[in-house]
Amino acid sequence: MAPSRSVWTARRDAVNRELASTSDATVAALGARYLGTLARYEQEAAREGATFVEIQNTMLFATVGQKPSARR
């Protein structure tokens, strides 16, 4: 079954809180795009109704840097 309205609200609120804390235009643009994608996902879930299945997972994004070693 599709998530409840409160779940969708919480998801949007979480993104909006992060967007409110950034002054980076690129981050703001990506956040706005993400909100649009989330809205489409919500609409699709509602359209599917009881047949909708959401599989929860966590995506981890990490950036790993390595300081170049000094040449000998």
What is the distance of C-alpha 21 from the center of its chain?
A: 15
pLDDT at 55: 83
Instruction: Name the more confident of 61 and 16.
Output: 16
Number of domains in the chain: 1
Q: Does 11 have pLDDT greater than 80?
A: yes
Query: Could you say which DSSP state residue 51 is in?
Result: G
pLDDT in tens, 27-66: 999 999 999 999 999 999 999 988 998 887 666 666 666 6
CB 19 within 8 A of CB 28: yes
Domain that holds residue 62: 1-72
pLDDT at 54: 87
Would the pTM of this model clear 0.75, i.e. be above it?
no
CB 31 within 8 A of CB 15: yes
pLDDT, position 61: 62
Reduced to 3 states, what is the DSSP secondary structure of residue 55?
coil
